[in-house]
Structure 1
Amino acid sequence: MSVFRQRRFINCRRFEPTMSLEDSLSDSLAETLAVFDGRESPHVPLTTSEVSEALACTRRTAYDRLNRLADEGYVETKKVGARGRVWWRAPQSSAGSAAESDSTPSEGYESLLLDVLDGADAGVFVLNDDFEVVWANEGVERYFGLDCETVVGRDKRRLLDEEILDAVADPETFAETVLSTYEDNTYAEEFECRVTPGEGRAERWLEHRSRPIESGRFAGGRVEHYYDVTESKRLVRRLKRSHAALERELDEAFERIDDAVFSLDEEGRFAYLNPRAEQLFDRDASEVVGRPIDVVFPQKELSEGCEAIRRAAKTQSAVTFEDYFEPLEQWVEGRVHPSETGTSVYLRDVHDRKRRERELERYETIFDTIDDAVCVFDEDGRLVEANDAFETLTGYPPDEFVGEMPTEVIAEDMLESALEYCREEFEEGRDVVSVDAEVVTKADERVPIEARITRYFPCENSHRWIAVVRDVTAQKEQLRRYERQRERLTALNSVNAVVREISDAIISRSTREEIEHAVCESLASSESYLFAWIAGVDPRRGKLTPRVEVGVEGYVDEIDLSDARSLNTLEESGPASRAVRTGEIQVVNDAFTDEDFEPWRHLAREYGYRSVAAVPIEYEGTTYGLIGVYADRENAFEEEERHALGPVGEIVGHAIAANERKQALMSDEAVEVEFRVPDPFGGYDATLPSDGVFRIDRTIPLDDGTYLEYGVASANVLDVLESLVAEVPHWESLTTFERDSAPDRFELYLSEQPTQSAVASLGGYVESAEMVEGHFELTVHLSVSTDVRRVIDIVQETYPDAELVARRMVSVDGAFRERLQQEFADVLTERQRNALETAYYSGFFEWPRESSGEAVAESLGVSAPTFHQHLRKAEKTLFRRLLAERPVTSQ
């Protein structure tokens, strides 16, 4: 998106409102319009800040007034830069709402000229007769690291001393040269200078060109141009370094060249022969150097060559010849290059080419049957003949163009350029030249072609061009597909690197805020994306709350994430609300063509993005927020890249959940929430006996998304639980380890997330879950930062009759069990921890054992050796932690 930045002229002062406005305007709008009418030219653009200064009001107030004046046609406006805007008096005179325009043609030309200069690929200063800066363009900012809005109005001599000289490598010479032009402003100046690297500027060489302004508003002033000549300087240095090496290489090249090369002095005597020439002539250089060529070789042996050498020497122009060299019985092609001191001759063996020319007659039958169009042109590009495939390709019969250039099919300048290129290539010894071009068919369709061109000599003094022309539409399209695929693979590699960077970055973060900022920083700093933000989400209330944005400032405020309608009305929503509602990544691959994105299209233009991705942050069924990612590429989030970006939401959700669980376990204070469920299985027509025992001790998540619950229950309760396995859809199986009068341990295999695990995913843990006097009671500890309302909703979704008994703050200082568990969680992998907990709660460590290693492995869905391997590593790690290192304490 190209943006022209308008610079203002020096004329800033407070203006009083005039009385020439229409009566319909309010006093405040009339006062604002008077700022323009009170200037020398009301059509010179002003920024919002300049208007607010002139009115002594806030920038917001000035912006609102200017907006109203623009809506009513009194002023015109234009956006500059990413977020700026300028205003000027509308040049209207009529029955509309604006006052009479006093613009002149020169002002229009001046505005147009400044727009052109502002977009020029050069830095420009315009100075008045006091050598104050009245205008500077964007190139000045880029080359010297200046802010043009602060530069305008300053004395160029002071600006030179205070800011510009710090940016150049030789400030004394630079200052002396520039200041001399101000002392004698009668001549044009031109010199080169080097800008050193610094904040807001890169190292580069600039060419300064300046001249006095002789007429117009700024007569007596001066205009200064700075052109970037860095690449030219670098090229000159490279050329100087390679010049000496090139001279050495030329000497060696003549020794290695396959062509026979010899040179003659101005008297026609041999001066040099390379090894290939010695071999061709069957003579040593020492035998012939200093002897005339017509003495060494009789006319009959090199007749055409001798004649060409004489002709080149006489005309002082290059001559090409072919001759049959009798001593070797072969054809040679020679090129003679004359100079004031003699001639250089290059001889090439063209015997094979001559043989091919003779064989060309045998290919005449192929000419008319080949699928590709075959065209024969004379030396000047006139069509001699073409096969039937020419008409298939172009729609024109070849006879229509015989004797003429087929300019209806291929442009004349394109054909002449191709022939000239071929001549140069054949002059260099090429036999076949490939040319890409485009033909226009009789149906006015443009078809890309590849022409392979060679030449043959039907007679001794002339040649013709043969072009085999192939329609390469399919190949071009395939190439474009490969290029698009390459771009997608490059972007995919980039996003995969970003995902890995995010995974590494969030591991060491100790708070949710640090995690979210690390994620946005990784996305915004990558080459693939412009900026990113994260918002928290409350689906129940239908609100998104901005939390972090990196790479942009204020964007999240402009898209207004707090609008509750955006989450509750899918048909009118954007990608953010769709992502929250569906739990899946949502993308906009072209913000300027996607109809659903129309409400935010102006922001896409303002912030320069083309594609959008909204990634939900979720973990174990809990939505924590949303990541917004923006790219300046069209179709940036197609299938592969969208698939690669998808796991980011789960990675971040897992990190946030783990962080909140850690806070809940390690915090000195927690929120304790107690629930009572009168009849937990009433919905399945099952009631727990009031005199039974039922307690859930541990819930263990497995890798495949299933869960194991371990607890104890009396025999009468186990009977009820066993009957429920066939009734509750997500209860897969129930296993007991003992059946006697005492409470028995049991293992319950679940295919869906139980309440205890859902609470843990929100950063809490279940303190107790047991039956008391026939009621199921659940006590949960949460970190103080956890949304308690969400936990209550989760419990009541599972148990609609659940009653909230208590909610209170409790002190967990000295809670040795939780701190010890967290200590162990830090040193064990998730699989080691799952193996250890499953073994413990299934009775593997009891004597006699209540569950074998094979049974525990089957519960975990792994092989027995794998289970024992995880278990041994976990035991070794814990014992080393307890015995070899510092003891774990509750302090």
Structure 2
Amino acid sequence: MTDSSAGGFRDGEPVERDSDESESRRPLPADLARRFFDACPVSAVLIDATGEIVHATDRAAETLGLAHEDLVGRPYDPSEWGLYYDDGTPVPVDDHPVTRVFETGEPVVGFEHWIERTDGGERWFSSNAAPLFDEDGTVEYVAIAFEDVTALKRGEKRLTSDHVRLLEFRADESAVPPSLRVEDEPTWIDIDSVVSLPDGTTVQYMGTADLTASDFVTATEEVPHYLDARLLSSVDGYNRIEAHSESETVAHVFSALGGRPREIVIASDEVRFRGELPGDVDHRQAGDEIRRFHPDAELVAETLVYSPQLLSDIVADALTDRQLAALDAAYFSGYFATPRTSTGDELADRFGVTRQTFNQHLRKAEQTVFQHLFEKSGAEGH
């Protein structure tokens, strides 16, 4: 039971605080609202009746891909922000949450849309907008809080999409260095994985039975964007290498779009790049990116095949980017093989961390994989 002098409820009835205690309570600082807004760990902006963004949290600027000083003071012109519905249809200006709140004085909650950021990236948001009234009851400001739900939306699409899109692009023979060009039988190079490293470089794991081990390493090192390459294994004429690239590659295009590269086929007059994308990803996105490397590249084959990957998708979503990269690199570099073709020190060096730090990422990744494999519904073990 609550004492009446403390305020609260007693026997289900409200009890007023003692007046002396209420008067002795410390008044809230006048600048508390602004301090709270500045410290708020969510994406939020404040727009005045003239349409100017008068305040924004640091998180909002980061989420929108803008510098804080470029966001605050910027006019909110609905026609410039490019809001889109799920199907890609532009959201009419009259339906923008800010426009609706200024016109109706009613809050808008849970409005989902995606925007194209200034850096070209597409992000999904769930936005909530509410009015702030002046003394006359006129909407003076609109406060907007929004959350980046891109990962959730992608997860939803993966869970509802049980197909992958197999793509094949063709470019001319100049897409590979002279040492890889052939005159008769084509050369097939399998792409096992592409791993992004913390410093912005990538590591690519590849294999072939059509080149000797030394020729494979030498030819790869002649490709301008590769920094180095090393032989991982040579078994029954099949050679696997690890190639370190200072920049993105064609193979990385598929990985960046949520898919994976499969192989490169080098013929006498052309080069074919094959890979797969999630079934809900438009092939034109891959084509646009590949043509950054090879302007003449064209799509020559596309097949949609049934390929459910529920467990791998769940595990990938549960891992951090660093954990997934560590596990990916360890597996494809032969760290788990017997005998090992890569050591913990070599992998740690690739990631620019100590062996202890790399092992921590790897152990956490392994624990997550085993948890989802052995625990019911991926629940935490007890």
TM-score by length of 2: 0.60
Matching residue's letter, 1:758: V
Secondary structure of the 1:553 match is helix
- In structure 2, C-alpha distance between the alignment counterparts of 1:549 and 1:846, rounded to whole Å: 55
1:789 aligns with 2:336: no
Aligned 8 A contact 1:725 1:732 in 2: yes
Matching residue's letter, 2:363: R
- In structure 1, C-alpha distance between the alignment counterparts of 2:347 and 2:341, rounded to whole Å: 10
CA deviation after TM superposition for structure 1 residue 726, in Å: 4.9
Counterpart of 1:549 in structure 2 is 96
What is the correspondence of 1:151-170 to structure 2 with a 5 Å cutoff? none
Secondary structure of the 1:737 match is strand
- In structure 1, C-alpha distance between the alignment counterparts of 2:301 and 2:192, rounded to whole Å: 21
Matching residue's letter, 1:703: P
1:722 aligns with 2:218: yes
CA deviation after TM superposition for structure 1 residue 686, in Å: 4.0
Counterpart of 1:687 in structure 2 is 180
1:535 aligns with 2:28: no
1:881 aligns with 2:372: yes
Counterpart of 1:849 in structure 2 is 340
Matching residue's letter, 2:121: T
Counterpart of 2:315 in structure 1 is 824
Aligned 8 A contact 2:169 2:301 in 1: yes
Matching residue's letter, 2:359: H
Structure with the bigger percentage of strand: 2
Secondary structure of the 1:846 match is coil
Q: Pick closer, same or farther for the CA change 1:738–1:495 going to 2, 3 Å.
A: same
Deviations 1:113-150 (A, max 9, x none): xxxxxxxxxxxxxxxxxxxxxxxxxxxxxxxxxxxxxx
Matching residue's letter, 1:881: H
Q: State the structure with more CA Rg.
A: 1
Counterpart of 1:675 in structure 2 is 169
CA deviation after TM superposition for structure 1 residue 532, in Å: 8.4
- In structure 1, C-alpha distance between the alignment counterparts of 2:330 and 2:124, rounded to whole Å: 38
Secondary structure of the 2:259 match is strand
- In structure 2, C-alpha distance between the alignment counterparts of 1:750 and 1:658, rounded to whole Å: 31
Secondary structure of the 1:845 match is coil
- In structure 1, C-alpha distance between the alignment counterparts of 2:329 and 2:158, rounded to whole Å: 23
Aligned 8 A contact 2:254 2:261 in 1: no
Where does structure 2 lack aligned partners over 5 or more consecutive residues? 1-18, 24-29, 46-59, 65-72, 103-114, 126-144
- In structure 1, C-alpha distance between the alignment counterparts of 2:160 and 2:195, rounded to whole Å: 20
1:617 aligns with 2:117: yes
Counterpart of 1:743 in structure 2 is 238
CA deviation after TM superposition for structure 1 residue 833, in Å: 1.5
- In structure 2, C-alpha distance between the alignment counterparts of 1:870 and 1:702, rounded to whole Å: 13
Deviations 1:576-606 (A, max 9, x none): xxxxxxxxxxxxxxxxxxxxxxxxxxxxxxx
CA deviation after TM superposition for structure 1 residue 672, in Å: 4.0
- In structure 1, C-alpha distance between the alignment counterparts of 2:291 and 2:75, rounded to whole Å: 42
Q: Pick closer, same or farther for the CA change 1:664–1:718 going to 2, 3 Å.
A: farther
- Residue 497 (structure 1) aligned to one of 23, 37, 40: 40
- Residue 229 (structure 2) aligned to one of 734, 738, 746: 734
Counterpart of 2:259 in structure 1 is 765
- In structure 1, C-alpha distance between the alignment counterparts of 2:172 and 2:155, rounded to whole Å: 28
Aligned 8 A contact 1:696 1:768 in 2: yes
Where does structure 1 lack aligned partners over 5 or more consecutive residues? 1-240, 246-485, 503-515, 521-527, 538-543, 556-614, 628-647
Counterpart of 1:807 in structure 2 is 302
Matching residue's letter, 2:98: G
CA deviation after TM superposition for structure 1 residue 737, in Å: 1.0
- In structure 2, C-alpha distance between the alignment counterparts of 1:829 and 1:848, rounded to whole Å: 28
Q: Pick closer, same or farther for the CA change 1:501–1:841 going to 2, 3 Å.
A: farther
Q: Pick closer, same or farther for the CA change 1:626–1:822 going to 2, 3 Å.
A: closer
- Residue 700 (structure 1) aligned to one of 195, 198, 208: 195
Q: Pick closer, same or farther for the CA change 1:798–1:769 going to 2, 3 Å.
A: same
Aligned 8 A contact 1:680 1:776 in 2: no
Counterpart of 2:276 in structure 1 is 780
- In structure 2, C-alpha distance between the alignment counterparts of 1:707 and 1:866, rounded to whole Å: 19
Aligned 8 A contact 2:258 2:278 in 1: yes
Q: Pick closer, same or farther for the CA change 1:826–1:724 going to 2, 3 Å.
A: closer
Aligned 8 A contact 1:699 1:710 in 2: yes
Secondary structure of the 1:722 match is helix
Aligned 8 A contact 1:535 1:626 in 2: no
- In structure 1, C-alpha distance between the alignment counterparts of 2:208 and 2:197, rounded to whole Å: 23
Counterpart of 1:53 in structure 2 is none
- In structure 1, C-alpha distance between the alignment counterparts of 2:376 and 2:181, rounded to whole Å: 47
Aligned 8 A contact 1:536 1:625 in 2: no
Aligned 8 A contact 1:695 1:770 in 2: yes
CA deviation after TM superposition for structure 1 residue 872, in Å: 1.8
Secondary structure of the 2:173 match is coil
Aligned 8 A contact 2:193 2:261 in 1: no
Q: Pick closer, same or farther for the CA change 1:618–1:794 going to 2, 3 Å.
A: same
CA deviation after TM superposition for structure 1 residue 756, in Å: 3.7
Matching residue's letter, 2:316: A
Aligned 8 A contact 1:735 1:746 in 2: yes
Aligned 8 A contact 1:701 1:708 in 2: yes
Aligned 8 A contact 1:769 1:777 in 2: yes
- In structure 2, C-alpha distance between the alignment counterparts of 1:781 and 1:717, rounded to whole Å: 30
C-alpha root-mean-square deviation of aligned residues, in Å? 4.6
Matching residue's letter, 2:117: I
CA deviation after TM superposition for structure 1 residue 787, in Å: 4.2
CA deviation after TM superposition for structure 1 residue 846, in Å: 0.8
Deviations 1:718-757 (A, max 9, x none): 62553453551x3222122124652222112222223343
CA deviation after TM superposition for structure 1 residue 492, in Å: 8.1
Deviations 1:657-677 (A, max 9, x none): 774476257503454432234
CA deviation after TM superposition for structure 1 residue 680, in Å: 5.8
- In structure 1, C-alpha distance between the alignment counterparts of 2:174 and 2:191, rounded to whole Å: 14
CA deviation after TM superposition for structure 1 residue 554, in Å: 10
Secondary structure of the 1:551 match is helix
- In structure 1, C-alpha distance between the alignment counterparts of 2:301 and 2:291, rounded to whole Å: 15
CA deviation after TM superposition for structure 1 residue 696, in Å: 0.8
Structure with the bigger percentage of helix: 1
- In structure 1, C-alpha distance between the alignment counterparts of 2:200 and 2:349, rounded to whole Å: 16
- In structure 2, C-alpha distance between the alignment counterparts of 1:688 and 1:658, rounded to whole Å: 44
- In structure 2, C-alpha distance between the alignment counterparts of 1:685 and 1:536, rounded to whole Å: 47
